Structure 1
Amino acid sequence: MTAPAGTTTGTNGRPARTSRPLAGTGALLRLALRRDRIMTPIWVLALSATLISGVGSIEALYGTTAERAALVRSLASDGSLRAMIGPVFDDSLGALVAWRLGGFAAIGAAVMSLVIVVRHTREEEETGRQELLSSAMVGRRAPLTAALLAALAADAALALIIALGLAGPTGSATGALALGLAIGLVGLLFACLAAVTAQLTESARQAKGLAAAALGAAYALRAAGDSSADDGSAVPTWLSPLGWAANVRPYADERWWVLLLLTAAVLAQGAVAYALAARRDVGMSFLPARPGPAEGRIATAAALAWRLQRGAVLGWAAAFLAAGIALGSMAGGVADLVGENEGTREIFERMGGQSELTDAFLAAMTGLFGMVAALFTAASVLRLHGEETSQRAEPVLAGAVGRIGWAAGHLLIAFGGSAAILLCAGLGLALGHGADFGPVMGAVLLQIPAVWLLGGVTTALWGALPKAAAASWAVVGLCLAIGWIGPALNLPETVLELSPFGHLPKLPGGTMEWEPVLILSALTAALLTAGLTALRHRDLRV
Structure 2
Amino acid sequence: MNGPLTGTGTLLRLALRRDRVMAPVWVAAAALLVVSMPRALGAVYATGAERASLAASMNANGSMRALYGPVFGESLGALTAWRSGVFGAVLAAVMSLVIVVRHTREEEETGRHELLCSGAVGRRAPLTAALLAALTADAAVAVLIAGGLAGQGAPGALALGLGIAGTGVVFAAVAAVAAQLTGSARTAKGLAAAVLGAAFVLRAAGDAGTPGAGSALTWASPLGWLENVRAFAGERWWVLGLFAAGAPALTAAAYALAGRRDLGTGFLAARPGPAEGRLGSAGALARRLQRGAVLGWSAAFLTAGAVFGGMADGVAEVVGGNERTREIIERMGGRSGLTDAFLAAMAGLLGMAAALFAVSCVLRLHGEETAQRAEPLLAHPLGRLRWAGGHLAVAFAGPALILLLAGLGLGLGHGGDAAATVGACLAQLPAVWVFGGLAALLYGAAPRYAAVAWAVAGAALALGWLGPALDLPRQVLDLSPFAHLPRLPGPGGRQPVPLLVLTGLAAALTAVGLAALRRRDMTA
Q: TM-score, normalised by structure 1?
A: 0.95
Task: Provide the rounded CA distance (Å) in 2 between the counterparts of 1:532 and 1:41.
Answer: 31
The 3-state SS of whatever aligns with 2:469 is helix
How is 1:161-172 mapped onto 2 (pairs within 5 angstroms)?
Answer: 161-168=144-151, 170=152, 172=153
Q: 264, 282, 305: which is aligned to 1:301?
A: 282
Question: In the alignment, does 2:173 pair up with 1:192?
Answer: yes
Task: Provide the rounded CA distance (Å) in 2 between the counterparts of 1:165 and 1:527.
Answer: 39
Task: Provide the rounded CA distance (Å) in 2 between the counterparts of 1:239 and 1:50.
Answer: 25
State the shift of 1:400 in Å: 2.4
Q: RMSD of the TM alignment (CA)? A: 0.9
Does the CA contact (< 8 Å) of 2:159 and 2:231 recur in 1? Answer: yes
Task: Provide the rounded CA distance (Å) in 2 between the counterparts of 1:360 and 1:69.
Answer: 24
Q: Which residue of 1 aligns with 2:413?
A: 432
State the shift of 1:510 in Å: 2.7
Report the residue type matching 2:518 in the other structure.
R
Q: 198, 203, 222: which is aligned to 1:222?
A: 203
Report the residue type matching 2:203 in the other structure.
R
Q: 378, 393, 397: which is aligned to 1:397?
A: 378
Q: Which residue of 2 aligns with 1:268?
A: 249
Q: 474, 484, 499: which is aligned to 1:503?
A: 484
Q: Which residue of 2 aligns with 1:521?
A: 503
Q: 215, 218, 232: which is aligned to 1:251?
A: 232
Report the residue type matching 1:520 in the other structure.
L
Residues 317-340 of structure 1: CA deviation (Å, up to 9, x unaligned): 000000100100110110000111
The 3-state SS of whatever aligns with 2:149 is helix
Q: 214, 220, 236: which is aligned to 1:233?
A: 214
Report the residue type matching 1:136 in the other structure.
G
State the shift of 1:51 in Å: 1.2
Q: Which residue of 1 aligns with 2:97?
A: 114
Residues 56-94 of structure 1: CA deviation (Å, up to 9, x unaligned): 111111111111111111112100010011111111111
Does the CA contact (< 8 Å) of 2:336 and 2:491 recur in 1? Answer: no
The 3-state SS of whatever aligns with 2:139 is helix
Question: In the alignment, does 2:54 pair up with 1:62?
Answer: no
Report the residue type matching 1:64 in the other structure.
T
Q: Which residue of 2 aligns with 1:143?
A: 126
Does the CA contact (< 8 Å) of 1:353 and 1:510 recur in 2? Answer: no
Report the residue type matching 2:364 in the other structure.
R
Q: Which residue of 2 aligns with 1:159?
A: 142
State the shift of 1:397 in Å: 1.2
Q: 71, 82, 86: which is aligned to 2:69?
A: 86
State the shift of 1:281 in Å: 2.2
Q: 338, 343, 346: which is aligned to 2:319?
A: 338
Does the CA contact (< 8 Å) of 1:218 and 1:242 recur in 2? Answer: yes
The 3-state SS of whatever aligns with 1:231 is helix
Residues 281-312 of structure 1: CA deviation (Å, up to 9, x unaligned): 22111112121111111111111111111010
State the shift of 1:276 in Å: 0.7
Q: Which residue of 2 aligns with 1:443?
A: 424
Does the CA contact (< 8 Å) of 1:464 and 1:534 recur in 2? Answer: yes
Question: In the alignment, does 2:345 pair up with 1:367?
Answer: no
The 3-state SS of whatever aligns with 1:489 is coil
Does the CA contact (< 8 Å) of 1:354 and 1:510 recur in 2? Answer: no
Does the CA contact (< 8 Å) of 2:309 and 2:413 recur in 1? Answer: yes
Q: Which residue of 2 aligns with 1:42?
A: 25
Task: Provide the rounded CA distance (Å) in 2 between the counterparts of 1:58 and 1:174.
Answer: 20
Does the CA contact (< 8 Å) of 1:29 and 1:147 recur in 2? Answer: yes
The 3-state SS of whatever aligns with 2:38 is helix
State the shift of 1:355 in Å: 4.6
Q: Which residue of 1 aligns with 2:111?
A: 128
State the shift of 1:490 in Å: 1.5
Q: Which residue of 2 aligns with 1:8?
A: none
Report the residue type matching 1:21 in the other structure.
P
Does the CA contact (< 8 Å) of 2:336 and 2:490 recur in 1? Answer: no
State the shift of 1:19 in Å: 4.7
Report the residue type matching 1:478 in the other structure.
A
Does the CA contact (< 8 Å) of 1:447 and 1:504 recur in 2? Answer: yes
Q: Which residue of 2 aligns with 1:539?
A: 521
Question: In the alignment, does 2:480 pair up with 1:480?
Answer: no
Report the residue type matching 2:121 in the other structure.
V
Task: Provide the rounded CA distance (Å) in 2 between the counterparts of 1:514 and 1:493.
Answer: 21
Q: 368, 376, 380: which is aligned to 1:387?
A: 368
Segments of 4+ moved more than 2 angstroms: none
Q: Which residue of 2 aligns with 1:174?
A: 155
The 3-state SS of whatever aligns with 2:211 is coil
The 3-state SS of whatever aligns with 1:20 is coil
Residues 158-214 of structure 1: CA deviation (Å, up to 9, x unaligned): 11111111011x1x1000111011001100000000000000111100000000000
State the shift of 1:241 in Å: 0.7
Report the residue type matching 1:100 in the other structure.
R
Task: Provide the rounded CA distance (Å) in 2 between the counterparts of 1:320 and 1:46.
Answer: 22
Report the residue type matching 1:85 in the other structure.
Y
Task: Provide the rounded CA distance (Å) in 2 between the counterparts of 1:432 and 1:506.
Answer: 19
State the shift of 1:99 in Å: 0.1
Name the count of aligned residue pairs: 523
Question: In the alignment, does 2:475 pair up with 1:494?
Answer: yes
State the shift of 1:409 in Å: 0.5
Task: Provide the rounded CA distance (Å) in 2 between the counterparts of 1:532 and 1:162.
Answer: 42
Q: Which 5+ residue runs of structure 1 have no aligned equivalent?
A: 1-17
Q: TM-score, normalised by structure 2?
A: 0.99
The 3-state SS of whatever aligns with 1:90 is coil
The 3-state SS of whatever aligns with 1:199 is helix
